[in-house]
Amino acid sequence: MLEIRYELVKEKKAKPDWDNLGFGKHFTDHMFIMDYDEGQGWHDARIVPYQNLSLDPACMVFHYAQEMFEGLKAYRTPNGEIQLFRPDKNIERMNRTNERLCIPKLDKQDVIDALRAFVKVEEDWVPVKDGTSLYIRPFIIATDVQLGVHPSKSYKFMIITCPVGAYYAEGIKPVKIFVEREYVRAVKGGTGYAKVGGNYACSLIGQEKAEKMGYSQVLWLDGIEHKYIDEVGAMNVFFVIDGKVITPALEEGNILPGVTRMSSIQLLRDMGYTVEERKLSLAEVEEAYAEGKLDEAFGTGTAAVVSPMGLLDTGDRKMIINNNEIGPVAQKLYDTLTAIQWGKAEDKFGWTLKV
């Protein structure tokens, strides 16, 4: 059991308006911190009042972006308990990201202990209303004070949380997606598979361009040929073509291996769908569309769970998918997955962990 020191607030913050939580706006009373120092390893785990950090401006994270993050949620079940969804998968991914960024790995059980202990402290922040949850953001920053380009020898691992609203306040609405052909997010050999802030920093320009044109997100193509579909913004993508479900394969290392993606593949197969993980070119999607075989397209991720694409603009062609409505595959997947996450259906795969 991870030893955690508790320094709890004397007075809790006022709770936000549970009907207007938004995303990532209201942070809870406390934060979790653990330090790493060379020779000592990870040490001094503590839960302390949520507060500003005091850091030397020469800390490595500010200059060379040696930083990683994760994202998962705690869900309130109908009988008032709180559960996490596949936190082991987030921690495994966290350690793959750490390896890529030369950040020391964390012990899986320590992180599970930290997550449970921290959510327990903040349990009155886990909202109750339909579709709401407590978003959990673990992250690590490099804190060595020096400007030489080397992996840091000291780090801070922190966890902050915020209650978040139902992603779809008025039912699931399909989104407009712009295919980005100029900028790329990731290349083979790069950090596409790692959950790092740097991937987002370099994707902002494409995102901003798309937003200015009235689109909500960007569909990224592979960084070498600009031909194959990678993913959308902060979501993995699925296309239903002629009844078959196709999602880009992870082998090249330029796609973030989503926990929602992994769970969706398993659930869809369990429902009897054929799911192919393979290279999928934009040309193949356009051809399917022209032949009337592009049944559905949707993104998956922890925040929105399943997000249908209503319009996909390739620059040459605007494809309206499934009449700009959520399709049966996306709907069934959304219903099944959310029922497990919020504890409304039997968890036959053993994916949830009570806090």
Ligand X SMILES: *Cc1c(COP(=O)(O)O)cnc(C)c1O
Q: Site residues (CB under 6 A) for ligand X?
A: 71, 195, 231, 234-236, 256, 258-261, 300-302
- For the chain, the straight-line distance linking the first and the last C-alpha, in angstroms and rounded, comes to 14
Q: Give the residue nearest to ligand X (CB).
A: 258
Dump the DSSP string for 3-49.
Answer: --EE---SSPPPPP-TT---SS----SEEEEEEEETTTEEEEEEEEE
Q: Distance between CA atoms of 110 and 155, rounded to whole angstroms?
A: 16
Nearer to ligand X, 97 or 143 (CB): 97
Q: Distance between CA atoms of 273 and 270, rounded to whole angstroms?
A: 7
Q: How far is the CB of 231 from ligand X (least distance, A)?
A: 5
Nearer to ligand X, 300 or 336 (CB): 300
Dump the DSSP string for 148-210.
Answer: SSS--SEEEEEEEEEEE--S-TTS---EEEEEE-S--S--TTSSTTS--HHHHHTTHHHHHHH
Nearer to ligand X, 312 or 337 (CB): 337
Please count the other Cβ atoms lying within 10 Å of the Cβ belonging to residue 14: 6
Please count the other Cβ atoms lying within 10 Å of the Cβ belonging to residue 24: 13
Give SS3 for 111. Answer: helix
CB 337 within 8 A of CB 305: yes
Q: How far is the CB of 312 from ligand X (least distance, A)?
A: 17
Nearer to ligand X, 59 or 229 (CB): 229
Cα three-residue angle 201-206-212, rounded to 5 degrees: 120
Q: How far is the CB of 318 from ligand X (least distance, A)?
A: 24
Q: How far is the CB of 190 from ligand X (least distance, A)?
A: 12
Q: How far is the CB of 93 from ligand X (least distance, A)?
A: 7
Nearer to ligand X, 76 or 86 (CB): 86
Q: How far is the CB of 192 from ligand X (least distance, A)?
A: 8
Nearer to ligand X, 322 or 341 (CB): 341
